[in-house]
Amino acid sequence: MVKKIGSWNLRSLLFILPVIVVLIFLDFYPIAYSIYMSFTNFGEFHFFNYSFIGLENYIRIIRSGFLWQLLWQNAIYAFGSVALFAPLGFIIALVMNQRGLRGKTFYRTAILFPWAYPAFITILIWQGMLDYRFGIINELLEKIGIKPIYWLGTPGTAMLSIILVNLWLSFPYYSYVFTSAMQSIPTELYEAAEMDGYGPLGRLKNIIMPMLSRQIAFVVIFGFIFTWNNFYIPFLLTGGGPGTSTQILITYSYSSAFSYLQFGIGAAYSVISILVLLVVVIIANHYSKMMTVLY
Amino acid sequence: MKNDKGKYYRRIRMAKRIVSHLFLILIVIFSIFPIYYVLLMSLSPLSNLSQMSVEKLIPNLTYLTTGNYAAILYHYPFLTWLKNTLIFSASATFFGVLLAISSGLALSRMNIPLRKVILYMMLILSLFPFVIMVIPFYFMFSELGLVNSYTGLIIAYSAGAVIFASWLIKNYVEMIPKDFEEAAQIDGYTKTGALFRVVLPIAKPVVIFALVLSFMGPYTDYALAGQLLTNPDMYTMAIGMYYVSQGTVSMNYGTYSAFAVLMGIPIFLLFFAFQRYLVSGFSIAMYK
């Protein structure tokens, strides 16, 4: 007989034990270590004799005024991306959801391309395509009479490029999610609406939107959370440049640590990035109860 | 009169169809263009980006060459990078998913102390990117002497994979009716036996999804590998690709494109081979 303690037994503990070990040693310990580092002057000049300096890193970060710039850029990156990829995904799903539309399989397969190819590589491909002098995008624009654009060379267009590349990377997933959500709406509802004389817009407003409101909220919130710390698009496409105009908290944390060798400051930026996200998650949970997936 | 109205509606429907197709064709061009472009570049004799032009977007068969592929395979340490990448990705996938299966099954079907606490922690941790862990991992592994070692990165990558994968498997298994195991237990399986031999095969889509996701992480990681690996013999493809893009390693643009194709195409094909599983794994894991 397996020994029972309360309502659980020792054998089931054995199944979960490895994951608890991972959680403690490879998640909580590093996070605690990061938080501790953010309270020290650990860096190039105090590599072997670093000491606890309390909130000094945070005070320096806030006083520098740079934090507000980073938060602003991070917010533009995350909101800008969600504001493009969620609606585009939704529109594609609406168009694909039409009854009797031919070539659905072809379209669906082609749309999956950006999702299927590793993002790490396609971001670098985009970097070449967006080159000012030789990039194919500017050459194509020239053919239709548009002057070449400094895609990655000026602060505004660099951020725009990042958001557009993120749109390319993300819309397949969102169109897929919205398509399967729309397919879960019973067809009788559409038919009933048609009988009642609703046109396409009426069906959108009175059936699709209300039926999918929960999924839409979920997708938008998760899109934001995922984009907030999505490191590789700014890191590979612009490297945070020109200047620091496309740095976000997580990329700046990484460069502080590994390019400027200020590990304490770098850790502090990553802690701030996590805190912002936690606040967003708590607020989102308050309104949409997404944590109820646990019950 | 009635006939006219029918015609009118038919015309509207026609117009709607045409607009829909035009829209979708534009989206298709947008989505496949970069991949078409890199494939074409990899087959063109280009020493740098400036030699690419709009006219060359239409392939000319006499002009295409496989020279870039020969160059990346024989003149650069591509095969070493590939070997290292496969060692890291395959080991991390194996350990990560193995642990995830065990904990996913346990969390969904067994009574576990502090179950809810563990689940909350996993959910919150799965929101945070791997990059956040790079600074602490760098110093932890330095202290343990695990810089430039396979073990260090495999441990880090397995940990990166296991949390999200457990979460996915747990969610999926919870949707499987308990009748299957109960029937199996009547047939003489133990409770654990029923879980592994009856429930696990039903959960195949999500296990495949977890395998592919866990494989992808290390396959395209630069953030941690770039810091922990300083010995060129241990470089992965992602590190190689990053250095070429930064100009640290100089390479013809055509050869670079061939590199991008060789590194990306296996994942691309894997994705389409398992598309059915991936897509159902995704949707079910995200919404319960």
DSSP, res A148: P
User: Nearest Cβ partner of B159 from A22, A124, A177?
Assistant: A22
pLDDT tens across A165-184, in order? Answer: 999 999 999 998 888 888 88
Q: Rounded to the nearest 5 degrees, what angle is found at the Cα of A67, between the Cα atoms of A62 and A71?
A: 140
Q: What is the pLDDT of residues B16-64, one digit of tens each?
A: 899 999 999 999 999 999 999 999 999 988 777 777 777 778 887 778 8
pLDDT at B222: 94
Q: Does A144 touch chain B (CB under 8 A)?
A: no
| A141 and B259 Cβ atoms separated by less than 8 Å | no
Mean pLDDT of the region B62-86: 91
Q: Which of A33, A96, A225 sits opposite B127 (nearest CB)?
A: A225
With a pLDDT cut of 70, the percent of chain B lying above it is 95
Domain CATH code at residue A264: 1.10.3720.10
Pairwise CB contact (< 8 Å): B119 & A294: yes
Contact A54, A39 (CB under 8 A): yes
As for the ipTM of the complex, it is 0.90
Return the pLDDT at A290: 55
**Residue-level pLDDT at A289:** 62
Whether B105 shows a pLDDT value over 70: the answer reads: yes
- Domain of residue A140: give its range: 65-294
Q: B-chain residues within 8 Å CB-CB of A95?
A: 20, 23-24
In chain A, what is the straight-line distance between the N-terminal and C-terminal CA atoms, in Å?
Answer: 31
Rounded to two decimals, the pTM is 0.90
- Is the Cα dihedral A3, A7, A13, A14 positive or negative? positive
Q: What is the CATH number of domain B76-250?
A: 1.10.3720.10
A146-152 mean pLDDT? 91
Task: Examine residue A221 and state whether it is found in any structural domain, yes or no.
Answer: yes
- Residue A284 C-beta-side C-alpha neighbours within 13 Å: 20
Pick the most confident of A51-60, B83-92, B274-283: B83-92
Q: CA-to-CA distance for A187 and B260, rounded, in angstroms? A: 44
Per-residue pLDDT at A293 exceeds 50: no
| Position A173 in a domain | yes
Task: Say if CB A226 and CB A204 are below 8 A apart.
Answer: no
A84-104 pLDDT tens trace: 999 999 999 999 988 888 899
Q: Which residue has the tokens 């606890």?
A: A52
Instruction: Compute the mean pLDDT over every residue in chain A, rounded to the nearest whole number.
Output: 87
Q: Is residue A8 part of a domain?
A: no
Structure confidence by residue, pLDDT tens digits, A222-263? 889 889 999 999 999 999 889 899 999 999 999 999 998 999
Q: Does A19 touch chain B (CB under 8 A)?
A: yes
Residue A59 forms part of a structural domain: no
For residues A47-52, give the mean pLDDT: 77
With beta carbons under 8 A apart, name residues in chain A contacting B55: none
Contacts of residue B94, defined as CB under 8 A and 6 or more positions apart, other chains included, come to: none
Mean pLDDT of chain B: 87
Distance from CA of B207 to the nearest CA of A (A): 17
Q: pLDDT tens digit string along B175-229?
A: 888 888 888 888 888 888 888 888 889 888 889 889 988 999 999 999 999 999 9
Flag whether A48 is in a domain.
Answer: no
User: Is the pLDDT score of B279 beyond 90?
Assistant: no
CB burial of residue B4 (10 Å; 0-12, 13-18, 19+): exposed
CA nearest neighbour of B224 among B166, B171, B149: B149
Q: Which of residues 27-86 of A touch B (CB under 8 A)?
A: 27, 29-31, 33-34, 37
Domain count, chain A: 1
- What percent of chain A has a predicted confidence (pLDDT) above 90? 49
- The distance of B283 to chain A (nearest Cα, Å) reads 7
Chain A from 122 to 141: CB within 8 A of any B CB: 122, 124-129, 131, 133-136, 139-140
Residues 6+ apart with CB under 8 A from B77: B232, B235, B240
Question: Which CB contacts under 8 angstroms, 24+ apart, belong to B55-60?
Answer: B57/A136
